[in-house]
Chains A and B, each alone.
Chain A
Amino acid sequence: MSGFAPGTFTPAPGRGRLGRMLWAQTRTEAVLTLRNGEQVLLTVLIPVALLVALSLMSVVPMPEPRVGSAVARILALAVISSAFTGQAIALGFDRRYGVLKRLAATALPRWLLVAGRVAAGFAVVAVQVVILCVTALLLGWQPPTAAGALWAVVLLVLGTLSFGALGVLLGGALRAEIVLALANIAWFLLLLVGGVALGVDGLPSWLVTVVELLPSAALAEGLQSALVDGSAPGVRPVLVLIAWGVAAGTLASRTTKLG
């Protein structure tokens, strides 16, 4: 009765090459993010629009040079958008649609599942950085010194890892709709009072102490030093980012559910 040639399904199991698996997974995840309209809105369009607005309009107080300060803050926002909010929402719905379980049942090792996601996160941040920097140059941005640019890259990597861990913590444990709501609210709050859109300078002093301990303010402040002053970030912003990343990563490794 069978229409299949004998031997079609004869077992020939084996694990694919690690490099090929990593590439396939990274590529799939990065392409999915960049193909998703809402993700593009969140990770590219809104940051570009805010960059233009902050650079050209003086509604929000901003240290001079204005475009340089705007780039620093909007790059921080871009990382929050993709590594945290976008990541959390995607993970929430990926779990809903059972893809983690599906992939966990293949020969893909668990560490590679995480590595692929991290690599895709970096790929998306790289695309964001290129688009935002080109936009900034068109707005008359003076590029930073080589040392400042290098520090900026270090901070962006650290920020992506730290916010990525927070995104996984949120997206890996709760129901997709709740993740969607919380991730957007958190994005909005960090933008407004997390030391991103508004620098910490304008805030009451008791609030400054709190906000300075947030990873958003740490990233924005560090990028401001690197991109505007061309200097190394202070120790505090770096420690704050590492502390949040380690804490969130440790917690997420216990709370993240496949389905």
Chain B
Amino acid sequence: MEVSGLVKKYGSVVAVDGLDLVVERGSVLALLGPNGAGKTTTVEVCEGFRRADGGSVRVLGSDPRSPDLRARVGVMPQGGGGYPGVRADEMLRLVAACAARPLDPAWLLDVLGLSGVGRTPYKRLSGGQQQRLSLACALVGRPELVFLDEPTAGMDPQARRLVWELVGALRSDGVSVLLTTHLMDEAEALADAVVIMDGGRVVAAGTPAELTSPHADDQQLRFRARPGLDLSLLTGALPEGLRVREASRGTYLVQGRIDPQVVSTVTSWCAQQGVLAEELTVARRSLEDVFLDLTGRELRS
């Protein structure tokens, strides 16, 4: 699947502004960004629900609005979808009837922990149950490509794990997945490639490892100790270019090129101060840090 230069406007508001992305066959791509970044708009253009105002989108080699594509693609819209009064198992069977070689609906309900609510009307399902049913509907037709828009929104941690496991299974069975999320850990855990969006544009793209791997001189060492320590001695003892600060009360951060010598300097300084450094870690940057660096804003604001 290939998107290049995608532009989508709502009136005078530009929701997506020149977006490029490629989903390789059998891989998982996560579109990551805060609410309003243009993730859902992008996915809906790829699903054929919205018309692009500019740029080109090819899905499995076709125009995304092509009717022939529908059978090859599985869609989990944001917030799910079902008749208000339809029972969960009826809804899944209806969607299964639209496919030539569907998965067994009863098995899929069971896998997603919905067997117990198979006869419950859609509107009485919890948000997380509606989401899981929606995921089942996306997968039941054995598609080649799956769009999952905020797949774990409203789910408890256990259900979220299950969805992660499912996405892993899809990937190893050769299904391509485009998912949106504003959860960093989700993108890091699931995706082969991450595209970080903000304000309708791509601000960074790459594998999670590429995005989070520290540039050699942008690592951080973090430790906890008694609050309010005088850091001037430590700053003086550390090599040039390292920054030291008390990031929050009792949490200290050393940023820059962290090598064994730096760790040693920090621990000996602690010994001199007569304090015990707790939870001392040399941390990789998280995608959260990457986003913060790129946009100056928290992801979940």
Chain A residues within CB distance 8 Å of chain B: 1-4, 6-17, 20-21, 23-25, 28-29, 31-32, 35-36, 93-94, 96-110, 258
User: Are B84's CB and A21's CB within 8 A?
Assistant: no
Indicate if B34 sits at the interface (CB-CB under 8 A). Answer: no
User: Are B134's CB and A12's CB within 8 A?
Assistant: no
Q: How far is the CA of A104 from the CA of B79 in the complex (A)?
A: 15
Known: A10-B173, A11-B175, A15-B100. A107 touches B165 (CB 8 A): no
Q: How far is the CA of A105 from the CA of B71 in the complex (A)?
A: 9
- Selected from A8, A9, A35, A102, the residue in CB contact (under 8 A) with B137 is A102
Known: A8-B169, A13-B142. A36 touches B85 (CB 8 A): yes
Chain B residues within CB distance 8 Å of chain A: 47, 49, 67, 70-73, 75, 77, 79-86, 90, 93-95, 97-103, 111, 122-123, 134, 137, 139, 141-144, 165-166, 168-170, 172-175
- Selected from B70, B85, B166, the residue in CB contact (under 8 A) with A32 is B85
CB distance from B10 to the nearest CB of A (A): 14
User: Are B142's CB and A15's CB within 8 A?
Assistant: no
User: Are A106's CB and B122's CB within 8 A?
Assistant: no
Instruction: Give 10 A-B contacts (CB < 8 Å), ordered by A residue.
Output: A2-B165, A9-B139, A13-B100, A14-B100, A14-B141, A15-B70, A16-B99, A102-B82, A103-B94, A258-B49
User: Are A28's CB and B98's CB within 8 A?
Assistant: no
User: Are B95's CB and A98's CB within 8 A?
Assistant: no
- Selected from A4, A7, A24, A258, the residue in CB contact (under 8 A) with B94 is A24
CB distance from A108 to the nearest CB of B (A): 5
Q: Which residues of chain B are near A105, meaning CB under 8 Å?
A: 47, 49, 70, 73, 75, 77
Q: Which residues of chain B are near A32, meaning CB under 8 Å?
A: 83, 85-86
Q: Which residues of chain A are near B141, meaning CB under 8 Å?
A: 13-14, 106-107
User: Are B70's CB and A99's CB within 8 A?
Assistant: no
CB distance from A2 to the nearest CB of B (A): 5
- Selected from B81, B93, B122, B170, the residue in CB contact (under 8 A) with A101 is B81
Q: How far is the CA of A11 from the CA of B139 in the complex (A)?
A: 10
Known: A13-B99, A15-B99. A107 touches B82 (CB 8 A): no
With a 10 A CB-CB cut-off, give which of B71, B79, B134 has the most chain A CB atoms: B71
Known: A2-B165, A32-B86, A97-B123. A9 touches B173 (CB 8 A): yes
- Selected from A1, A13, A24, the residue in CB contact (under 8 A) with B72 is A13
Known: A28-B86, A94-B83. A16 touches B98 (CB 8 A): yes
User: Are A97's CB and B122's CB within 8 A?
Assistant: yes
User: Are A99's CB and B83's CB within 8 A?
Assistant: yes
7 closest Cβ contacts across the A-B interface? A14-B100, A102-B81, A98-B81, A105-B75, A24-B97, A107-B71, A4-B169
Q: Name the CB-closest residue of A to B144.
A: A11
Q: How far is the CA of A35 from the CA of B175 in the complex (A)?
A: 38
Q: Which residues of chain A are near B79, meaning CB under 8 Å?
A: 98
Q: Which residues of chain B are near A36, meaning CB under 8 Å?
A: 85
Q: Which residues of chain A are near B73, meaning CB under 8 Å?
A: 13, 105
User: Are B85's CB and A35's CB within 8 A?
Assistant: yes
User: Are B98's CB and A15's CB within 8 A?
Assistant: yes
Q: Which residues of chain B are near A4, meaning CB under 8 Å?
A: 111, 165-166, 169
User: Are A2's CB and B94's CB within 8 A?
Assistant: no
Q: Name the CB-closest residue of A to B90.
A: A28
Q: Which residues of chain B are near A11, meaning CB under 8 Å?
A: 72, 142-144, 173-175
Q: Which residues of chain B are near A35, meaning CB under 8 Å?
A: 85
- Selected from B83, B97, B134, B170, the residue in CB contact (under 8 A) with A20 is B97
Q: Name the CB-closest residue of B to A31.
A: B90
User: Are B86's CB and A107's CB within 8 A?
Assistant: no
Q: How far is the CA of A254 from the CA of B36 in the complex (A)?
A: 28
- Selected from B84, B90, B102, B173, the residue in CB contact (under 8 A) with A7 is B173
Q: Name the CB-closest residue of A to B137.
A: A102
CB distance from B132 to the nearest CB of A (A): 14
Q: Name the CB-closest residue of A to B97.
A: A24
Given A21-B98, A32-B83, 19 more pairs with CB closer than 8 A: A2-B168, A9-B175, A11-B143, A11-B174, A12-B101, A13-B143, A14-B101, A15-B70, A21-B97, A25-B97, A28-B94, A31-B90, A98-B80, A102-B77, A103-B81, A103-B95, A106-B98, A106-B99, A107-B99
